A and B are shown apart, each in its own frame.
Chain A
Amino acid sequence: MTAQEVVSRLHSGMTLGIGGWGSRRKPMALVRALLRSDVTDVTIVSYGGPDVGMLAAAGRVRKLVTAFVTLDSIPLEPHYRAARERGAFALMEIDEAMFMWGLHAAANRLPFLPVRAGIGSDVMRVNPGLRTVTSPYDDGETFVAMPALRLDAALVHVNRADRQGNGQYLGPDPYFDDLFCAAADTAYVSCERIVDTAELTKEAAPQSLLIKRHTVTGVVEAPNGAHFTSCAPDYGRDEAFQKTYATTPWPQFAARFLGGDEQAYRSAVREGS
């Protein structure tokens, strides 16, 4: 598939999970394609980085579910901050572990999972819909009943994949990309390179086969598809470009880098650096 074909299957109002973590292995080519479409009013579920910053700045987000939004080497995401400070979208702010267990619950078709996190904090105050559950055993401890974070679609980016949707990561951290796919009704995997199935385990260990094809709807070959976030070991974060992103007013950035297709993006990045 192409990124454009992926986006043609997404609709306004959907709940979209986005893989990666902060400014690391984000499916940015898919996010850019989303920005070129007229899909809007979406709920985004993400350990947030520039994916959230861009979609929020472009006014596409109705609601965000997250534990943080950061560019890592630049701790605070400026476009996200600006959008949040002007009250541009609704926010479900939860803890990192609550987020993970919400994905697990969705992947396991459970309505919730008990989590020892959130109680005593203002996560409970700002999410009045969160419920607690008391252990039915002798300990009697009370936990947060973290509701399943079920997704209409998941977008993730990995290093390699075959055409059937078997996705492979070659960096140090899988993040939660397999969980995003398993928690979603449809999942789209972009990758640096599509290879033959046999190629996947020629040099890499089988544990690197993170994403299984039964959880995947479509595969997109997107070289540099995580740019400007990192995609170890294929490339690191483009710090210079990230800085440009962080310091350029959004309308200017969008006009300069997101006006055309992915090829136009790449040449604009080349000219810009």
Chain B
Amino acid sequence: MTEGTGTPLLPPTRAEYCVIACAEAWRDAGEILASPMGVIPSLGARLARLTFAPDLLLTDGEAMLVRPDGTVEGWLPYRQHLALVTGGRRHVMMGASQIDRFGNQNISCIGDWERPKRQLLGVRGAPVNTLNNPTSYWIPRHSRRVFVEKVDMVCGVGHDHAGGARYHRIPRVVSDLGVFDFATPDRTMRLASLHPGVTLEQVGEATAFALTVPDAVPPTREPTAEELRLIREVLDPQSTRAGEVGT
């Protein structure tokens, strides 16, 4: 893989595959708000905006809608953000302290809710997000503590609790090991792609529930040379992505 100048590019890192896997969540999304939470989803959303999802709306993390270069193009304070959620013109990528095979997500507490062993953030907007706009998840450290059989507190609603809710959709879960979806008859989690360098055994060992694994699992796609250039030179020259996912 070479750039136009003929300089050989370093091969993609794990963090860069993760950026690509997150960016893909917003492919051809149209004129909707991308709400990424975390460094790598933010890079993914901005990469998508610069390439294959040019109509995406992005925020500065506060109350402004901004173009990729930081130019303010709109105002979205929290009250309008919450209204936009229920209008559905948004695809959020949230974190998860726990996620289970049906895609239930927990960011509230670990242990018994009445008297938690570990108090976390609280349900935040997960209940409203999951009933109103597509909600994907990003998990920077795939482990059995996160990918659990049953979450301690359902914040983001999974398929077994959604009861056919009209606007419920969990397009994908991206971790540092691979990409997952719910394209199974019972809407449980399926391995959709493995990041290059990751083995099936690794994923199995790091997941505490039975994951559907298709006969042929594709690798997460390679970034193009232009995408790598954008990530490395334009979006994240300080390489903050490496702080979220190591190599």
Binding site for B on A (CB under 8 A): 21, 48, 66-70, 75-76, 80-81, 84-85, 87, 93-98, 100, 115-123, 125-126, 141, 172-176
Contacts and interface: CB of A to CB of B under 8 A. Distances in A.
Contacts of B156: 121
A85 B126 contact: no
Given A119-B165, A120-B154, A141-B166, A173 B125 contact: no
Interface stretch (B115-123, B192-200, B210-218): B115-123
Contact of B62 (A70, A117, A173): A173
B57 interface: no
Contact of B86 (A48, A80, A116, A173): A116
B120 A76 contact: yes
A57 to B, nearest CB: 13
Contacts of B221: none
B78 A67 contact: no
Contact of A87 (B64, B108, B115, B165): B115
Contacts of B153: 122, 126
A95 B119 contact: no
Interface residues of B, number: 43
B128 interface: yes
A179 to B, nearest CB: 8
Interface in B152-208: 153-157, 161-163, 165-168
Nearest to B62: A172
**B interface secondary structure, majority:** loop
Contacts of A117: 86, 127-128, 131-132
A1 to B, nearest CB: 28
A97 B123 CA distance: 11
B79 A85 contact: no
A123 B166 CA distance: 19
Most chain B beta carbons < 10 A, residue from A115, A117, A118: A117
Nearest to B75: A172
A81 B109 CA distance: 10
B246 interface: no
B23 interface: no
Given A97-B86, A121-B161, A172-B63, A76 B121 contact: yes
Interface in B55-104: 62-64, 75, 77-79, 82, 85-86
B121 A70 contact: yes
Interface of B: 62-64, 75, 77-79, 82, 85-86, 108-109, 113-128, 130-132, 153-157, 161-163, 165-168
B82 A96 contact: yes
Given A87-B115, A95-B126, A117-B128, A172 B85 contact: no
Contact of A68 (B114, B123, B161): B123
A67 B123 CA distance: 6
A121 B102 CA distance: 13
A70 B126 CA distance: 15
A254 B148 CA distance: 40
A175 B77 contact: yes
B175 to A, nearest CB: 19
Cβ-closest 8 pairs across A and B: A68-B122, A117-B128, A120-B157, A172-B63, A97-B128, A95-B127, A120-B161, A121-B127
Given A93-B123, A126-B113, A116 B128 contact: yes
A80 B62 contact: no
A122 B156 CA distance: 9
Nearest to A178: B79
A172 B109 CA distance: 31
Contacts of A119: 131, 157, 163, 165
Contact of B125 (A95, A174, A176): A95
B125 to A, nearest CB: 4
A96 B125 CA distance: 5
Nearest to B115: A87
A122 B154 contact: yes
Contacts of A174: 77, 79
B39 to A, nearest CB: 13
Contacts of A115: 128
